[in-house]
Amino acid sequence: MATRVFSPAARTTGGVVDHASPVLGSSGLFTVLLGAALPLIDFFIVNVALPTIDHDLAAGPALLELVVAGYGLAYAVLLVLGGRLGDLFGRRRLFLAGMTAFGLTSLACGLAPDAWTLVGARVAQGAAAALMLPQVLATIHASTTGARRAKALSLYGATAGLAMVAGQILGGVLVAADVAGTGWRAIFLVNVPVALVGLLLAVRTVPETRSDRPAPVDVPGTLLLTLTLFSLLAPLTEGRASGWPLWTWVSLAVFPFAAAAFWRVELRADRRGRTPLVPPSLLALVSLRRGLALVLPFSIGFGGFMFVIAVALQQGLGMGAVVSGLALVPMAVAFFGASLAGPRLVRRWGSRIVTAGGLLQALGVALLALTVWRSWPDLSAWSLLPGMAVAGFGQGLQLPVLFRVVLSEVPAERAGVGSGVMVTTQQSALALGVATLGSLFLSLAASAGVRDALVVTLLVQLAAVAVTVVLSLRLPRRVG
């Protein structure tokens, strides 16, 4: 049965008909959350499949890095633009276009005959994800209010966290199952029927929303943001595998100048009354600014951890894809439980729940580091369970609340821009975490061994968690 997407009656004020606002029903919420899960699952699903892809396509370290980084880069640099296009042309329309493109590019990934074709398809898949994902939060923000919006944002946060963990679990199961002899290709081909279902549901259940005063695309801002993110993320993700050639150092040298130019262009546009890609005036919102400051270290640590744990368990201990994926199940279950409890706890304790979650995550990461130090090389999924569960519970208390905090003061007409800024920050930080913590781990593993490399990486992540705990004390106490 189709969900009603408009309230049943229009209001009349002063003789002028005020048409009913779009309302996102339960089926529509499920549909957009499905659209939110797919891009995040696919960012992490390849981690456990990399050894199989390398064996099948003779990819080599540099191309394997590009399989991960190509998706992440395209995804990160186009997210804000995707949000702006949704404001301009309609979020439902862009959601449908992104879902269609995601299904087609997933099919291209699954059928790729060689490593370079796979890299190209992954870049296109990342671009498709960037069209789809910003519409999710923008639709929620524009078509829900009050307690319904708070619940929807909490479910979005829970979905995002679970998708990142479930991606590696699902990847391990699919690779090991070798469905119809497809091997690693199944991790991409599975998206095709899911995207078809998502399209059918979206046509019937997702309301159309758009900004009342849509702004044209900020071309200079888009180009400079692309240059800024690319000049930082590309050399960090490819540098180690490529032997740090000259272009990586030139790119890193360009980054601060590109970032400064981007900020000046956006500030000038904002002062002249235009609508820049990332309005500096949006950062004047205390909740958004301070929330993003936490999303950054949280996502850097999370992205790096998920990549490193997959490599350490498979290549360091020789675990199979399924076992290494199942080692993350306690984290996923605990995250889900904390996400369900979060809304009730927030009503009583406000943003202090984020602080409590950070402390629990720190305890979990410390337990994992101690377990690795003491039990290696006899490490098992069972021995990792306590640390995984405690860390996952702490993460589940943080992420859904952070999403609510960031968007709590963003006006509905700027929902696409606000959502794009938040998911760009998150995605860029995830990619940065894979690049920095991943490179640290792989460099140390070559010289000091996998155990010591993993312990050091976990301690670096612990430092990032400590930063989030300190910053959480500056969040507005009340969560809208």
Please name which of 241, 296, 259, 301 lies closest in space to residue 119, comparing C-alpha atoms: 241
- CB neighbour list of residue 221: distance below 8 Å, 6 or more residues apart: 262, 265, 266, 269, 276, 277, 278
> What pLDDT sits at residue 12?
35
DSSP for 384-416, please give it: HHHHHHHHHHHHHHHHHHHHHHHHTT--GGGHH
Helices within 144-245 (DSSP H only): 146-177, 186-189, 191-205, 219-242
Please name which of 223, 250, 213, 224 lies closest in space to residue 235, comparing C-alpha atoms: 250
Please name which of 137, 145, 133, 202 lies closest in space to residue 21, comparing C-alpha atoms: 145
With cut-offs at 50, 70 and 90, classify the pLDDT of residue 214.
Answer: low
Residue with tokens 């099919």: 107
Mean pLDDT over 458-478 rounds to 88
- Chain mean position to CA 83: 15
> What pLDDT sits at residue 257?
95
> What pLDDT sits at residue 430?
84
With cut-offs at 50, 70 and 90, classify the pLDDT of residue 9.
Answer: very low
Mean pLDDT over 145-165 rounds to 79
> What pLDDT sits at residue 178?
79
> What pLDDT sits at residue 412?
67
Mean pLDDT over 194-205 rounds to 93
Omega cis (within 30) before 377: yes
Least confident segment among 108-122, 195-209, 251-265, 415-429? 415-429
Percent of the chain with pLDDT over 90: 27
Helices within 178-328 (DSSP H only): 186-189, 191-205, 219-242, 246-271, 286-311, 321-326
Cα–Cα distance, 103 to 194 (Å, whole number)? 8
- Per residue in 99-134, pLDDT (tens digit) is 999 999 999 999 999 989 999 999 999 999 999 988
- Per residue in 358-401, pLDDT (tens digit) is 999 999 999 999 999 988 888 888 888 999 999 999 998 888 88
DSSP for 414-427, please give it: GHHHHHHHHHHHHH
Amino acid (one-letter) located at 145: T
> What pLDDT sits at residue 16?
32
Cα–Cα distance, 7 to 19 (Å, whole number)? 9
> What pLDDT sits at residue 202?
92
480 in helix, strand or coil?
Answer: coil
Q: Is the pLDDT of residue 259 over 90?
A: yes
Look up residue 313 and give its two tokens: 């368990």
Residue with tokens 């290709």: 185
> What pLDDT sits at residue 466?
92
Q: Which residue has the higher pLDDT, 41 or 104?
A: 104
Cα–Cα distance, 35 to 427 (Å, whole number)? 15
Look up residue 269 and give its two tokens: 């546009």
- CB neighbour list of residue 216: distance below 8 Å, 6 or more residues apart: 88, 275
Q: Are residues 413 and 211 in contact, defined by beta-carbon separation less than 8 angstroms?
A: yes
With cut-offs at 50, 70 and 90, classify the pLDDT of residue 416.
Answer: low
Q: Is residue 12 within a helix (H) or strand (E), and if so which, with residue range?
A: strand 11-13
* Neighbour tally for 208: CB within 10 Å: 15
Q: Length of the chain, please?
A: 480
Mean per-residue pLDDT of the chain: 83
